[in-house]
Amino acid sequence: MSRLLRLLGAVAIVGLSIVLATAAIYGLIRTGTCGAPPGAVAVRPCPKGTGGQVLQLIGSIFVLPAVGIALAPVARQLLAGLWWCYLWLAMGAAAMVVAYGPASPPGSSGDALGVGITFLAIGGFSLLLILGLMTIARRGSADAEEVLARARAEGRLGPTRSPADGDAMATLAGQLGAIARAREAIDDDPVAGRLRKLDELRTAGVITDAEHAARRRAILDEL
């Protein structure tokens, strides 16, 4: 549940950044050139709130997306890529509204049109690129699964184990490791070597079962 909430929060923050950036770029394009550049003779003062729009644009492009993408528990690269695409598309649409909207300021259609076309081209190309990469990755994953399935069908790979099987295999591996360590300890013990030699003599028929039992008891009595 926490992962889902984090993902929803990340998407909401990233979406908010797109909305704020679009609103800021809309206002700045409508404002056009203003202020007092060095050496200017005629000065058109910037409307009130222009500085706030600049700060809003900077924060919505650099701060909010970083927070949202860092908050996402999964698919951060995909979220960042989609944010990039939709940011440019939304700002391009805002510029086109400035150029051809009903409240378009006089003389702003040319510049706004150029900005809108540029932004839409960047966003559209980026979106097509991401969709193409996702398609290639999906096809590669499907091909890999097909190869694995064919290998299992031909007996070159064992069947897929469930998590319970994996736990059982881990337990068995631990038991086998303990047995191997015990055997190494026995091999290093001289008494164990004598008992093993005694077993070999009985197996070979050199001594009888009674002699084997008596000598085994004698060896153990030495401990």
pLDDT tens-digit map of 142-196? 766 766 666 666 665 555 554 444 555 566 666 666 556 555 555 556 777 778 7
Contact between 73 and 6 (Cβ < 8 Å): yes
Ramachandran category for residue 35: left, alpha or beta (phi over 0 → left; psi -120 to 50 → alpha): left
177, burial (CB in 10 Å: exposed 0-12, middle 13-18, buried 19+): exposed
Please state, in angstroms and rounded to a whole number, the distance separating the CA atoms of residues 122 and 211: 93
Both structure tokens of 131: 């969709």
Q: Which two tokens stand for residue 153?
A: 């069908």
- Say what the pLDDT of residue 74 is: 79
Could you tell me which of 2, 174, 14 has the C-alpha nearest to residue 81?
14
The mean pLDDT value for 91-104 works out to: 84
For 187-209, how does the pLDDT look when each residue is reduced to its tens digit (9 = 90+)? Answer: 556 777 778 787 887 887 778 88
Chain position carrying tokens 């009985």: 202
C-alpha 205/C-alpha 194 separation (Å) is 17
pTM for the model stands at 0.61
Is the CB of residue 35 less than 8 Å from the CB of residue 51?
no
pLDDT at residue 40 greater than cutoff 70:
no
Nearby residues of 100 by Cβ (< 8 Å), 6 or more positions away: 109, 113
Range among 55-59, 136-140, 168-172, 216-220 rated most confident: 55-59
**Domain residue spans of the chain:** 2-32+47-153, 163-221
